[in-house]
Amino acid sequence: MTTVVKVEDVHKCFGANKVLNGVSFEVSKGQVVAIIGRSGSGKSTALRCIDRLESIDSGRITVCGHALHSRKLNLKKLRTDVGIVFQSYNLFPHLNVEQNVSLALRLVRGKSRSQAAQTARRVISQVGLADKMHAYPEQLSGGQQQRVAIARSLAMEPQLMLFDEVTSALDPQLTGEVLQVMESLAKGGMTMILVTHEMSFAAKVADQIIYMHEGKVHEAGDAGILRKPRTPELQKFIGGGL
């Protein structure tokens, strides 16, 4: 299988705080990988390093053929190959849904207004918001705004999608809407890495689950590690440490 992401012995500090302490893992094309762990375990930092939103102190990261540790890295090309969705939606309040999604297509991909609009309509329909095409962010629920943010990333036709705790600010009903879209992407073969606290969702869709603890990959495997954790740290996390 084609390796899309390769993280090798990555270290990252913020001042005296060592956030990543020798992290290594691989993601193959079409795989869904869920990263779980307590707050402060390094999971979101690891995700941000994969999109080069954070630089690393040592180690190697290769994403979609891009060597992130190389001085020759084409950051613009990396960002077109990798889509990332955050907890905050970061939509432009003065643009409607279609405009929010099509803007980067015109500015980054160089598509015409009509080409961008056509792609925007397709991905907005894909996330179930065809009837909200001309609505503005303030007219949408949190779950709908998050789905627009996902559509905006999908419009760029990335090889890899990253999700950083995208449902943590949503109530259960709206969380379900967003997870349904993510599950549909997974079934469609999208390569995905998601940082999540949704254990049942991780168990359902992830091919590989990575449990991070104190800046390291403490335990990794399929959904079976959630049913039968091998370490007391993961057992405690699942049993009530959420």
pLDDT tens for 224-234 read: 999 999 999 99
Locate the domains of the chain by residue range.
3-91+160-240
HSE-CB at 196 with a 13 A cutoff on CA atoms is 26
pLDDT at 88: 86
Tally of helices (H runs) and strands (E runs) in the chain: 9, 10
Q: What is the DSSP string of 10-38?
A: EEEEETTEEEEEEEEEEEETT-EEEEE--
pTM of the shown model: 0.92
CATH of 3-91+160-240, one of 3.40.50.720, 3.50.50.60, 3.40.50.300, 3.30.200.20: 3.40.50.300
- Going by C-alpha positions, the residue among 59, 81, 84 that lies closest to residue 70 is 59
Taking alpha carbons only, the member of 102, 101, 104, 97 closest to residue 135 is: 97
- pLDDT tens track for 157-168: 999 999 999 998
pLDDT of residue 240: 57
The confidence band for 134, taking pLDDT boundaries of 50, 70 and 90, is very high
- Dig out the tokens for 155 from the structure: 């419009």
pLDDT tens by residue, 210-224:
999 999 999 999 999
- Whole-angstrom CA distances from 64 to 28, 53, 54, 96 are 10, 16, 17, 31
The dihedral region occupied by 105, where left means phi > 0, alpha psi between -120 and 50, and beta the remainder, is alpha
pLDDT reading at 242 higher than 60: no
Q: How far apart are the C-alpha atoms of 237 and 242, rounded to whole Å?
A: 6
DSSP assigned state of 139: G
Q: pLDDT at residue 31 above 80?
A: yes
